[in-house]
Amino acid sequence: MPRSHRERHRTERVGWLRAAVLGANDGILSTASLVLGVAAAHATHSNVLIAGVAGLVAGSMSMAAGEYVSVHSQKDTEQADLKLERTELKTNPEGEQRELAAIYVGRGLDARLAKQVATKLMAHDALGAHARDELGISAALTARPIQAALASAASFAVGAALPLGVTAIASDASLIPLVAGTSLLFLALLGGLAAHAGGASVRLGAIRVTFWGAIAMGLTAGVGALFGTAAA
């Protein structure tokens, strides 16, 4: 008898993938932009590096806190819906069974088969059946705030470390073009990798993130240059 296997789908990693990609992208872009802005204002090399490190720490904590609050709010909503569903299953199980059967009829089953499926599934795991088919909550897609927060903070730090590393080794004369060029390359690679992991076009993913990254870095460097000139 052939062995059963469990297919792995991209939706199972959408939560942590989203947090990790968003964190790394922000780490590269915000830190590179900060470095370029401070450098364009004619700050010393050490001051540019200090600003970048401060941006890494602050950004990592900000990403972790923001992701935790956002995903925890989603989790609270899921828990509230599940609590309501438990109450309805206790007070009106027949009505809940009819509701579940109606969902299956809407998906293409005839009424008799839909009723049989609803009965079997509710006998096995009533709350799980309603969570999945009525509320759209599953184990693969459920909100995990701590996981999302840690993934965001870690990925931001890793992303920010890339332009910081370039800043540390670049000379004063080559700092701006080198940080800008390598950061755009990092963003393109990240955008392509994220698109590939999600099953989308690698080329379009790379182009999108590089385009917006170039705009962000250009504007920040322009503001730094403007204030640097005014202060001179």
- CA 210 remoteness from chain centre: 18
For 48-57, 63-72, 76-85, 96-105, which range has the lowest pLDDT when averaged over its residues?
Answer: 76-85
- Give the pLDDT score at 4: 45
Distance CA 132, CA 141 (A): 10
- Categorize the per-residue pLDDT at 132 as very low, low, confident or very high, splitting at 50, 70 and 90: confident
Degrees (nearest 5) of the Cα angle 214, 218, 224? Answer: 150
| pLDDT (0 to 100) of residue 5 | 47
Residue 2 has pLDDT above 70, yes or no: no
Q: pLDDT by residue (tens digit) across 88-130?
A: 788 887 878 887 788 888 788 888 888 887 888 778 877 777 7
Q: Angle CA(67)–CA(68)–CA(72) in degrees, nearest 5?
A: 115
Residue 63's contacts (CB-CB under 8 Å, 6 or more residues apart) are: 22, 23, 26, 152, 153, 156
Cα-Cα-Cα-Cα dihedral sign, residues 82, 140, 156, 200: negative
Say yes or no to pLDDT of 1 above 60. no
Distance CA(25)–CA(3), nearest Å, equals: 41
Quick: pLDDT tens for 3-16. 544 555 444 555 55
Percent of the chain whose pLDDT exceeds 70? 85
**Secondary element (H or E) of residue 91:** helix 45-91
| Token couple for 68 | 């935790």
Q: In the predicted model, what is the mean pLDDT of residues 135-139? A: 65
Nearest to 169 by CA among 45, 72, 17, 23: 45
Q: Which two tokens stand for residue 120?
A: 């079997």
CA angle 87, 91, 96 (to 5 degrees): 85
Sequence ranges of the domains in the chain? 15-225
Supply 63's token pair.
Answer: 């990403």
Token pair 């009723």 in the structure block, residue: 115
Q: Dihedral of CA 12/13/16/17: which sign?
A: negative
Q: From CA 64, how far away is CA 222, in angstroms rounded? A: 29
Identify the band that residue 29 occupies on the pLDDT scale cut at 50, 70 and 90.
Answer: very high
Q: pLDDT tens, 36-46?
A: 999 999 899 99
pTM (two decimals): 0.69
- Report the mean per-residue pLDDT for the chain: 82
* pLDDT digits 0-9 by tens, 178-204: 999 999 999 998 888 877 777 778 889
pLDDT at residue 178, as a whole number: 95
How far apart, in whole angstroms, are the C-alpha atoms of residue 30 and residue 159?
A: 9
pLDDT tens by residue, 211-232: 999 999 999 999 988 887 765 5
Query: What's the whole-number mean pLDDT along residues 41-65?
Result: 92
